[in-house]
Structures are given as C-alpha cells and as structure tokens.
Amino acid sequence: MQQNEVISELEEYLKTMKNDDDSASVRTVVKYLKALNSLFELSLLGKYVRIFKTNGNTLQRMEDGFKFFKTWCEDAIENGCPTILRTDRGTENTNIAFLQPFLRDQHDDPFAKEKSFMYGRSTSNQRIEAWWGQLRKNAAQWWMDYFKALRETGELDDSSEYHIDCLRYCFMDLIQAELDYVAHEWNIHRIRPSNYNPGGIPDKLYFLPEDEGTRSYRHTVSSDDVESAREWSVTKPCSVPKEFTDLAEHVMSEDNISKPTNADEAIVLYKHLKSVLSC
C-alpha cells in the first residue's frame, strides 16, 4: 500500500471514529504523512539546507522517528510486540500510536487492540530522560563539541550540502559504532534493585524473564502484519546520497585510502574529500 493510499484510508476511517482521543491520534498521523509527502513533492528531501533554514529541528525529528520506528518494527518481527506502549506526544511517536494497536488487533488479552497504547506527559518519563542524559555525557557530548569546533574554525560549513555529505560519509559509521557499543554495555550491565524495578541485567530480564521470577509480556505478531506496518516507513532522510557515496569510494580507491576507524582518520579523509571534490 502506498503512502497516499494509506492517507486516503485513514481519512475515511476518521469519518467513522467516535472516540475523540483516538481520532486525534489518527489526525496527527495523517498530518505527519502529508508533511512528508510535501517534502517529496517539492523536492526538498535532498535539500537539507533549505529545510534547516525553515526549521532546524525538522530533519532531526524525522531522523529520530525513523530510527525508533525501524528498530520497533525489527523487534516486532524477531521478538514480538509489547503488551502495552506508553509515549509522549512527540512527532516521532505518531506512527507508533497507530501501529501498536494495529499489531495487537488479533490478540484477546485485556490490553489488546486500542488499549495497547496510551499517551502520557513527557515529564513522567524520568527514567528514559535520565538515560538520555547518560548517553549525552558518555558518548554524544564529545561528538557535539568536536563538530562545533570544526564549524567554529571554518573547517565545516553547515550550510553546504557537500560539507554535510562529506561529514556524514566520514563520521556516521564511527558514531553508529559508538552508539551500538553504548547500547551493548547498557544491556549487559547490572541494575540495582529498587522499589520501582526488580534489578538485574537488561538483556537477561528481556530474553530470560523466567530466570528472574517473571514472564515475557511480548505477543507474537505475524510477519504479514509487520510488513504492512513497514509501509508506513519513509526513506531515511539523513543518509548519504548514493551519488556522493559512489564518488567518495572512487576517490578512496584511486588514492588507496581505507574507511576511517577513528576520529583522527575520519577528519583526514574529510579534508581530503573536500579538497579533491572542491567542496
């Protein structure tokens, strides 16, 4: 099903809805999808600079939403769907608000269907907000300061599409590897028990709940339903364009340069690509 067809079906579905909260969620999804369509239709998706000048948070929110949605779909296929999901009303959660009940539609427990999702205030997300603080402190802040220094010294012009492409090509894999490492370390560390959680190792709590005296609250989801949910995904807006990747790989092959394994190697490659490609 194409995105325009999804929008049309949702608009028809809205006409039959009586619950104001549910219809508000669906209207939010429709607005989000229409906004994404506009980016495609106006050929703005590849013109990040023009979008940033209008709203500097637009692409970041799309990127965050895409990553969360992609991970959530992959987890639904491999491990099932959670019994209930609670989020704030952030833009990145609009697809999840519709798809969580969709994936739980065939179940018959007390929290099935529309009861499997609820909204809550972001101020109640103290634990995840605390985790974001740890992530920034232990990983993200170093990169933020590093790129800020590049900009302040004139090495990076963040209004230049070529500079942004060079930067992403040289550094994105390194940043992803560091994020994967942080996630892995978190998932194998031991949480101290408290009044609000039983403590234990996250991976063990998730994959072997019986060992901790509880059970899994995941529900099996058919691959067909998950594939239908994937239709809601959009092309990743912040990836490096294929044309640039091909050109960069050609330059690296000609000059016998390997992909960087650390920040020092990445900045050397960044400067080299800028020079050769006359960025």
Q: Which mean pLDDT values do the consecutive 10-residue runs of the chain (279 residues) have? A: 62 66 59 60 45 49 57 65 87 81 90 92 76 86 94 92 93 91 88 82 84 84 80 61 92 94 96 85
Angle among Cα 14, 77, 113 to the nearest 5 degrees reads: 35
Q: Report which residue type is found at 89.
A: R
Query: 92-97: long-range contacts at Cβ-Cβ below 8 A with a sequence spacing of 24 or more?
Result: 92/61, 92/64, 92/65, 92/68, 93/65, 93/68, 94/25, 94/28, 94/29, 94/32, 94/65, 95/29, 95/32, 95/65, 95/69, 95/232, 96/68, 96/69, 96/72, 97/25, 97/28, 97/29
Would you list the domain boundaries of the chain?
44-276
| DSSP letter (8 states) at residue 2 | -
CA distance 123 to 129: 9
Q: What is the pLDDT of residue 57?
A: 52
pTM of the model: 0.63
How distant, in Å, are the alpha carbons of 76, 222, 260 from that of 184? 19, 28, 22
b/e per residue 223-258 (b: at least 16 CB within 10 A): eebbeebeebebeebeebeeebeebbeebbeeeebe
Q: From the CB of residue 177, how many other CB atoms can be counted at a distance below 10 Å?
A: 11
Where is 117: in which H helix or E strand?
strand 117-119
Q: Say which residues have a Cβ less than 8 Å from residue 268's Cβ, sequence separation at least 6.
A: 260
What pLDDT score does 32 carry? 59
Taking the C-alpha atoms of residue 147 and residue 158, their distance in angstroms, rounded to an integer, is 10
